[in-house]
Amino acid sequence: MNDIIVAISTALGKGAISIVRLSGDGCIELVNKCFKGKDLSKVESHTINFGYIMDEDKVIDQVLVSVMKAPKTYTREDVVEINCHGGIAATNKILEVMVLNGARLALPGEFTKRAFLNGRIDLVEAEAVMDIVNSKTEKAREQSISQLEGKLTGIIRKFRQELLELLANIEVNIDYPEYEDIEVVTINDIKDKVKSMRESLNQIIKESEIRKVIKDGINVAIVGRPNVGKSSILNRLLGENKAIVTDIAGTTRDIVEGSITLSGIQLNFIDTAGIRSTEDVVEKYGVEKSIEQINRSDLVILVLNNNEKLTDEDISLIEKVENKKYIIVINKKDLDNKLEVDKLNNDNVIYTDTVSFDGIDSLKNKIIELFNLDEIESSNVEIFTNTRQITLAKECLPILDDVEKGIIDEVPVDLVAIDIKRIWSKLGEILGENYSDELIDQLFSQFCLGK
């Protein structure tokens, strides 16, 4: 039996409506005790009922109460949603009254966790719920809703079904080899099935890695020596003067961030302190942070000054970013060229002039080209959307290899069956069929309160 949980499900603040949500055995009776209006214990399921939430004989707010009886609810338990007038005081007071009457404050994600534990959704679908809430772009939302509709779940279930059929066939062959009329699964059948499954899984993993940017966006660090124009470039990319720009070298001390959407993908730009050796403690700290940002980013924009000769610091920065995706931006192109471009020997060079905006569009186009952003579509392809899913799927690949190799090496079929069971069980882990409490707690704690 599940206790009654309660949470404010809408963002707390001034708004037209707020929702206080409860789930668990007895929650309808609990709300009924504090409700003036119809007898909620007698109303039909899935009805909305007008009335008042009372604290003893004091009216707290005029409300609409949705009563949803198990099992056709979000959590598969009885659920009540109180729609009250949005506002911090009324909403908090209703929450307090519910707690005083026996409900417990829900943990983040606890409603969705119950939906999972009660078998209404699997783990992939639960993660999709969180992704929808966190979606910042249209493409990210489309991808998450397709996952919530169960497309990926469907594919995994199909793989598992095929594995089960293989196992069943193998067992029949092992247990009753003398029955000739039983459809014999030949070793080649297993090999073909396993091969095609490995190819499909591999393809989904590949697509998932390309499309990871739909959900996570792309983190772009803008780095370079002081005064080359990093902050000016950030401001031009964002279309607003977010970072302070001056002609004093060492203006930016702390990182400045800003986002834009490019071809439907979120780009998170991080402007950093100019990198140079310095004795200034604050600046030194900023420089360390800049180097850290290079390592963390998906793309580095390395800015050089067209009006100065290449320095040793520029060269050492180029070396630092060489094993990452990067674009070299030669800024201040309006000034005389002193930079030895031929020394760079690089295809990814863009010239900019932040005074006239020249080159900023070319820079954006270069980013689109580097990440193939125009070709990334969110719909119609099933993909894994987080590291947990991708890691588990990747763990299946070597086992599938082992099965194939085992067949070629004529390993006894019952040993092959053990590996097939392992793949079946790993795919089940993706759906949350065998999970550890720790993993589940950790996963749902990332959800919003009231979700």
By C-beta, is 232 or 389 nearer to ligand GTP? 232
Instruction: Residue 249: name its binding partner from Mg ion, ligand GTP, none (Cβ under 5 to 8 Å by kind).
Output: ligand GTP
How many helices (H) and strands (E) are present in the chain, helices listed first? 14, 13
Give the shortest CB-372-to-ligand GTP separation in angstroms: 29
Could you say whether residue 56 binds ligand GTP (CB under 6 A)?
Answer: no
Q: Are strands 218-224 and 299-305 parallel, antiparallel or unpaired?
A: parallel
Could you say whether residue 227 binds ligand GTP (CB under 6 A)?
Answer: yes
Q: Are strands 58-68 and 299-305 parallel, antiparallel or unpaired?
A: unpaired
Could you say whether residue 354 binds Mg ion (CB under 5 A)?
Answer: no
Could you say whether residue 272 binds Mg ion (CB under 5 A)?
Answer: no
Q: Which residue is nearest to ligand GTP (CB)?
A: 274
Could you say whether residue 305 binds Mg ion (CB under 5 A)?
Answer: no
Could you say whether residue 252 binds Mg ion (CB under 5 A)?
Answer: yes
By C-beta, is 127 or 353 nearer to Mg ion? 353
Q: Which stretch binds ligand GTP (CB under 6 A): 49-57, 99-107, 220-228, 431-439?
A: 220-228
Q: Reading across the β-sheet that carries 35-37, which strands appear in turn?
A: 35-37, 47-55, 58-68, 79-85, 17-23, 5-8, 104-105
Q: Reading across the β-sheet that carries 349-351, which strands appear in turn?
A: 256-262, 265-271, 218-224, 299-305, 326-331, 349-351
Q: Mapped to the 3 state alphabet, what secondary structure does 284-347 carry?
A: HHHHHHHHHHHHHCCEEEEEEECCCCCCHHHHHHHHHHCCCCEEEEEECCCCCCCCCHHHCCCC
Beta strands in 69-165 (DSSP E): 79-85, 104-105
Could you say whether residue 359 binds ligand GTP (CB under 6 A)?
Answer: no
Single out the residue of 355, 415, 418, 439 in contact with ligand GTP (rule: CB under 6 A): 355
Q: Is the peptide bond before 71 cis (omega within 30 degrees of 0)?
A: yes
Single out the residue of 24, 109, 226, 432 in contact with ligand GTP (rule: CB under 6 A): 226
Give the shortest CB-257-to-Mg ion separation in angstroms: 13
Q: Tell me which H or E stretch contains 348.
A: none
By C-beta, is 225 or 333 nearer to Mg ion? 225
Give the shortest CB-254-to-Mg ion separation in angstroms: 10
By C-beta, is 94 or 243 nearer to ligand GTP? 243
Single out the residue of 229, 406, 432, 450 in contact with ligand GTP (rule: CB under 6 A): 229
Could you say whether residue 308 binds ligand GTP (CB under 6 A)?
Answer: no
By C-beta, is 93 or 332 nearer to Mg ion? 332
Could you say whether residue 231 binds Mg ion (CB under 5 A)?
Answer: yes
Smallest CA-to-CA distance from 168 within 156, 185, 180, 193 is with 185
Could you say whether residue 353 binds ligand GTP (CB under 6 A)?
Answer: yes
As a whole number of angstroms, the distance between CA 253 and CA 24 comes to 51
Q: Is 207 helix (H, G, I), strand (E, B) or coil?
A: helix
Could you say whether residue 354 binds ligand GTP (CB under 6 A)?
Answer: yes
Smallest CA-to-CA distance from 263 within 219, 216, 299, 214 is with 214
Q: Which stretch binds Mg ion (CB under 5 A): 178-186, 228-236, 336-344, 370-378?
A: 228-236
As a whole number of angstroms, the distance between CA 8 and CA 27 comes to 15
Strand partners, 304: 330
Could you say whether residue 264 binds ligand GTP (CB under 6 A)?
Answer: no
As a whole number of angstroms, the distance between CA 52 and CA 20 comes to 14
Could you say whether residue 250 binds ligand GTP (CB under 6 A)?
Answer: yes
Residues that bind ligand GTP (CB under 6 A): 224, 226-232, 245-247, 249-252, 273-274, 331-332, 334-335, 353-355
Residues contributing to the site for Mg ion (CB under 5 A): 230-231, 251-252
